[in-house]
Copies of this chain bind each other. A is one copy, B any other.
Amino acid sequence: MNIVLDAFGGDNAPISVIKGCLLALDNYRDIKIILSGNKDMLEKIAKENNLSLSRFEICNAKDIIDVEDNPMEICKSKILSSMAVGMNLLKKGDGDAFVSAGSTGALAVGSSLLVGRIKGVKRAALAPVMPSAKGCFMLLDAGANLECRPEMLLQFAIMGSIYSNKVLGVKNPKIGLANVGAESSKGTEAHKQAYILLKQCNYINFIGNVEARDIPFGACDVVVSDGLSGNMILKTMEGTSNFFVKTLRDMYMQTNATKIAAALMSKQNRKLKKRMDYTEYGGAVFMGISQPIIKAHGNSDANAFKNAIRQARECIKQGVIDEISKNIGSSVGDE
């Protein structure tokens, strides 16, 4: 299988991209990696950093799309960017999955317009895999579609269920609808209608509404939400986690006694850090696109890129797209 990497996406590109790809090649013998990006620059930077590019195929792309660029430009003035060129490799059949740590907005537009959605899927959802007390859960949508119709939420539930089962190995994944209260009467009109649709769907194991306060404790395996709610959940969890990690670190540094405490807790601290590390589970998947597209975190290091590549490989190996394709069409009527 050919996994395409956006060599110039993310804060630490291209060095971390190259290092992550080398790690992945060492770990997974069944993959081939294509780097999309400016060939001259790649070769120059690789040489300066003593990195070999000999194990990669390089697909030249003279431009870079920036987080400041209007996402729509990926189809216009930035069609020769490393991101657009990489995505077009999927369209042409030269690539089987795409990983980028670049602009989320541009990736969303490119996913839908350059690669295209699975037939029958109304909207693609941005779906990060996040840590919880019971392991991890998938959240979709985390911001690609701020307002969602109930049928879209049903499709998100089906797609999330398939991912959770096939890639994360969860048997009969529990699906929850993020809402302001547990009762079926809670929320907006869209929530109430979605509740009914989810309840009626035999394909999924719908456990009802979940309140945001129960999500970090692992209330369900898949959290379904409109993109606005999902974005708030994702970023509040991230911010609050970062706040705690920083506070704990400050606490440890305060006195000689607390410094000793830090040493006594070093094993536990490492475990906590690993457990809260979002990149351990890979990046966010654009669920509903006809080939696996993974958005790695903007500040991904080599290990994060390796994990995102592992995730792309799992999506391919487990036939996630085919499974969605088979089960999404019959879920709801056409628009």
Is A324 interfacial (CB-CB < 8 Å)? no
Instruction: Collect the chain B residues with CB atoms within 8 Å of residue A258's CB.
Output: 264-265, 268
**A228-B228, A254-B268, A268-B254 as given contacts; A243 in contact with B217, CB under 8 Å:** yes
Closest-CB distance, A72 to chain B (whole angstroms): 12
A5 within 8 A of B: no
A242 contacts B by Cβ under 8 Å: yes
* C-alpha gap A156/B213 in the complex (Å): 24
User: Which of A32-40, A43-51, A232-240, A282-290 faces chain B?
Assistant: A232-240
The answer, yes or no, to whether A215 is at the interface (CB within 8 Å) is: yes
**A231 interface hit (Cβ, 8 Å):** yes
Contact among B187, B240, B244, B264 with A260 in the assembled complex (CB-CB below 8 Å): B264
Inter-chain CA distance A252–B265, complex, in Å, is 8
How many identical subunits does the complex contain?
A: 2
**A135-189: which residues lie under 8 A (CB-CB) from chain B?**
143, 146-147, 178, 180, 187-188
Establish whether residues B244 and A236, one from each chain, have CB atoms under 8 Å apart when the complex forms: no
Interface residues of A in 242-256 (CB under 8 A from B): 242-244, 246-248, 251-252, 254
A17 at the A/B interface (Cβ < 8 Å)? no
User: In whole angstroms, how far apart are the Cα atoms of A82 and B236 in the complex?
Assistant: 36
Is the beta-carbon distance between A236 and B243 smaller than 8 angstroms?
no
Is residue A229 within 8 Å, beta carbon to beta carbon, of the partner chain? yes
Instruction: Identify A264's interface contact among B178, B187, B234, B257, CB under 8 A.
Output: B257
- Give the chain B neighbours of A87 by CB distance below 8 A: none
Interface residue ranges, A against B (CB under 8 Å)? 133, 143, 146-147, 178, 180, 187-188, 211-217, 227-229, 231-244, 246-248, 251-252, 254, 257-258, 260-262, 264-265, 268-269, 272
Given A251-B268, A261-B261: 19 more A-B contacts, CB < 8 Å: A133-B243, A180-B228, A180-B231, A188-B228, A212-B231, A212-B234, A213-B235, A213-B238, A213-B239, A215-B239, A217-B243, A228-B229, A232-B233, A233-B236, A236-B236, A236-B237, A247-B272, A248-B248, A261-B264
